[in-house]
Amino acid sequence: MRKRIPNIAGAILLLFLLAFPLIYGRPDYDYIMHIMITGFFYAILAASWSMLTGYAGQFSFGHMGFMAIGAYTTGLLCHYIYLSPEPTGICWERGFFDQYLIVVNPIGVTSTTLTQDCLRQAMEVWDGTVKVTKMPVLLGIILGTLMGALAGFLVGMLVLRLRAAYLALFTLGFSEILKAAISAEIEITRGQAGLELPPLYPEGVTLFGHYFGPTAKLPPYYTMLALLLLCLGILAWLARSKFGLFVRALREDQDAAAALGVNITRYKVLVFTITCSMAAAAGAVQGHYVQIITPNMLFLLQMSLVVAMAVIGGLENFVAAAIGAIFLQVMLELLRNSFVIGGIEVDMTIWRLVFFGILLMVTLRFFRNGLIAPLISHFRRSGIAEETIAKRKIDAGGAGS
Amino acid sequence: MIHLGISNLHKKFGGNHVLKGVNFEVNGPELIGLIGPNGAGKTTLTNILDGAIKPASGTVYLNGERIDQLPPYEVARAGLGRTFQVTRSFRRMTVLENLYVPSLALGNARSRSELREKAMDVLEFLTIEHLRNEFAMALSGGQQKLLELGRLLMLDPDVVILDEPFAGVHPRLMDVIHAYIKRVNEEGKAIIIISHQMDSIFSLSQRLLVLNFGDLIADGPPESVKNDPAVIEAYLGSHGDEVAA
């Protein structure tokens, strides 16, 4: 029974998360839903990073880079790719079945150059007679995820011989280079001005008999929660399979694992590919949810936040890492409210980060596998110590008789 | 019929010529002791045999397949397994999980129940079945050595290399290790034992190989090797500064 307590607690938490947007009715509904959606986003990043680092021992500081690859892939595709039944004659275009696949020319960020947009010019000439189709958001997200997987595969191949600090530095360098490239290519990515994305559901969506507009919070809430559950499901399946066993062996001692027949190259590359594709999927969905992406999403502080969430939840348990991420995201937002003690106003917008830092340091010092993972482990492994001791007592009794 | 053929094996680390044209063959289920003073090249030879490092020149064939250029996991799959001088268990994995790794890597269990049954048989033989769900890091040094030997039973290779299997082991566990070696040998496997425990190695081995500064200076039955002047010279030294155990 004790072993099932984590499952029961998980089921209750899941039911709560499913029902929450339907039962919460306060005026700050949109704000609270936004916190939760962002919490789910960080939970996907923390859980996938936990698989990469906690299970496989590949300490990567580039996870936000893969997230950004997902976001920018769908962002750029939605921004530049269109389908038209008529050729523009001035854009780069190719026949695509009975349509034309049009790639719009990059025009940078200044409003005076908007007239240089080739598709805009063509549409002015067409005067509404030709219907141009935008890139479907779902296709953008799928392609963003695949691009993240490809980048993860390539980085995984490049870091095969790197371990510990060298791996962390390599991946940090990768993320910084990506940020610099996105910032520099203003013509294409719009740099620090940010790239606008269409909403997750551009035409809105009908759920439970109600129509929800493109900016409503409920559809993205369930979308991000569904993506989180999908990722956790895949990670759970992987963790229970020989994949999970092999990547943990890789973490413990890759030379010993290889000597026992484990193809360490394959599993190292696979774990990078899978976890990076999850980060990219989260980035793509989050990009369409917030509708603007900037290179600031690659700040080291963002990566540190994901690391801290996973560490506080429990690095070697992806469910604990995900719960830790949601909990910390909610707490960090709710602690924003300043208060007054003895006439002195405590500015919590700053102090909450101090508390967060102290919590991280205490966790690292006293709870190596986080605050939530040991609880799960306590119930899951109940009875094992008694089993060992009982056998020892039998042996001792037998020896004495 | 098991055949391991090592031919003209050379290895250098910088200016240090660690192996100088080592040649020997293993035919069938032989029980071989490999000895030599520190720095003789025993571990380097083992690392070359298991694919961890590549030789400068020379070849290694296992059952007709050339293995000296293969990565370690392919060498393991070809039929050569080893333990390490310093025990390398997967410390934050349970004892059972440690045993599952080689079996699943080779796919030599048809189902989960068969895998568990096989692992439990191994643990019972090694007298640590009560520790099956404990993390490996909770085991004593000797028990971790047994666990490493258990992983080899799950790998089920044709040639087994045991690097210092008796070092730092309690006498009761030593009996278990002796029984293990006899069982594996009776199952038709070739075993190469590297050890500084001369009593054990002389009592167990059918054939002794002696390495000294990268040269194979003796190869034969233990009794003749024991009295070989070159071996005595290597162990005792002309100035008496190396003392055999």
Residue-wise pLDDT tens digits, B126-166: 989 999 999 999 999 889 999 999 999 999 999 999 999 98
B79: left (phi over 0), alpha (psi -120 to 50) or beta: left
Q: Where does the pLDDT of residue B240 fall: very low under 50, low under 70, confident under 90, or very high at 90 and above?
A: very low
Distance CA A339, CA B126 (A): 64
**CA nearest to A6, candidates A387, A328, A321, A372:** A372
Is residue B58 a contact partner of residue B9, using CB atoms and an 8 Å limit?
yes
3-state secondary structure of B157: coil
In chain B the beta strands, taken as DSSP E runs, fall at 3-13, 16-27, 31-35, 57-62, 65-66, 80-82, 159-163, 190-194, 207-212, 215-220
Say if the Cβ atoms of A263 and B73 lie within 8 Å.
Answer: yes
Antiparallel, parallel or unpaired: β B215-220 and A339-341: unpaired
Cβ–Cβ contact B13 with A under 8 A: no
The three-point CA angle A44-A46-A47 to 5° equals 65
Task: Residue count of chain B, please give it.
Answer: 245
- Per-residue pLDDT tens over the stretch B33-84: 999 988 899 999 999 999 999 999 999 999 999 999 999 999 999 999 999 9
DSSP 3-state helix, strand, coil percentages of chain A (rounded to 5)? 70, 10, 25
Q: Which helix (H) or strand (E) holds A100?
A: strand A99-103
Token representation of residue B153: 């039973």
Cβ–Cβ contact A342 with B under 8 A: no
Distance CA A153, CA A145 (A): 12
**Residue ranges of chain A whose pLDDT lies below 50:** 399-401
- DSSP string spanning B100-113? HHHHHHHT--SSHH
Global pTM? 0.90
Distance CA B209, CA B9 (A): 15
Cβ–Cβ contact B161 with A under 8 A: no
- Per-residue pLDDT tens over the stretch B157-200: 999 999 999 888 888 888 889 999 999 999 999 999 998 888 88
List chain B residues with CB under 8 Å of A257: 90, 101
User: A356-363: which pairs have CB atoms within 8 A and are 24 or more residues apart?
Assistant: A356/A308, A356/A328, A356/A332, A359/A312, A360/A308, A360/A311, A360/A312, A363/A311, A363/A312
Domain ranges of chain A: 2-78+136-339+346-385, 86-130
Which candidate from B51, B101, B134 shows the least CB-CB separation from A249?
B101
Q: How far is A110 from chain B (nearest CA, A)?
A: 56
Q: What is the pLDDT of residue A395?
A: 63
The CA–CA distances, whole Å, from A387 to B99, B113, B137, B143, B205 equal 19, 21, 17, 17, 39
**CA nearest to A41, candidates A179, A200, A202, A204:** A200
Cβ–Cβ contact A388 with B under 8 A: yes
3-state secondary structure of A187: helix
- DSSP string spanning A101-134? EEEPPP--S-GGGGGG-HHHHHHHHHTTSSPPEE
Q: What is the pLDDT of residue A399?
A: 44
Q: What is the pLDDT of residue B39?
A: 86
List chain A residues with CB under 8 Å of B88: 253, 255-256
Distance CA A375, CA A394 (A): 30
Say if the Cβ atoms of B90 and A256 lie within 8 Å.
Answer: yes
Look up residue A55 and give its DSSP letter: I
Token representation of residue A285: 């969905």
Task: Residue count of chain A, please give it.
Answer: 401
